[in-house]
A = this chain, B = another copy of it.
Amino acid sequence: MEPVSATRHSGAERREDILDAACEEISTAGFGGATTAAIAQRAGISQPYVFRFFPTKKELSLAVVDRCVGQLLGDWERVVPKQDETRLQALGRWYVEALPSRRTQLLVQLQAYAAAEDPDMAEAMRHHLARIFRYIVLQARRDGAADPHADAASFLSRGFLINAAMAIGLESALTPEEWAGICAKGEVARVEDRREHPAA
């Protein structure tokens, strides 16, 4: 199973390690706050070695967003609707079910919108958002939706709310029913009747 050497990896492997580590760091610290030192340490390499694969931090950043959006769309490709379930419903169900395991992936995207002061990042996100929107519209169309664009926009909106709520730890501050209410398009639990700091 793979080379005997425990330390030396191939360039391609290291690149993936770095991207993995960068996703983790960026998901919490943001694109500006994540340091190449922390990314390197998490990847198990020295800080300067990062620059062997990505000439600047910015190129690494753009590679990270591209990867996360690609993973999201890749995940969605593999979602199969259950019986009596539309494609959009299946995507929505997956979104909530896979939330814990895809936390990093989604938080990186939130960070990317926040980092849009950089024109290159903004352009990248316009591109990626168009990709995602396009995919959702396609599925809505296959579902035979009367207004695929409206349904897609609503679906997308809910995703943004969920991402933001997840970022501030609302899922662990709410009861499962309340959290399900936030995620669902229909029923929503009575969040506003709780005390101001439910987690305290």
How many identical chains are in the complex?
2
A126-B173, A187-B150 given; A164·B160 CB < 8 A: yes
User: What is the 8 Å Cβ interface bit string for chain A, positions 170-199, against chain B (1 contact, 0 not)?
Assistant: 100100000001101111111110101111
Q: At the interface, yes or no: A167 with Cβ under 8 Å from chain B?
A: yes
CB distance from A30 to the nearest CB of B (A): 6
Nearest chain B residue, comparing its CB with the CB of A170: B126
CB pair A191–B130 under 8 Å, yes or no, is yes
User: What is the 8 Å Cβ interface bit string for chain A, positions 16-56, against chain B (1 contact, 0 not)?
Assistant: 00000000000011101100000000000000000000000
Residues from chain B with a CB closer than 8 A to the CB of A111 are 114
Nearest chain B residue, comparing its CB with the CB of A187: B150
CB pair A165–B129 under 8 Å, yes or no, is yes
CB distance from A101 to the nearest CB of B (A): 20
On A, residues with C-beta under 8 Å from B are 28-30, 32-33, 110-111, 113-117, 122-123, 125-127, 129-130, 133-134, 137, 147, 149-150, 152-154, 156-158, 160-161, 163-165, 167-170, 173, 181-182, 184-192, 194, 196-199
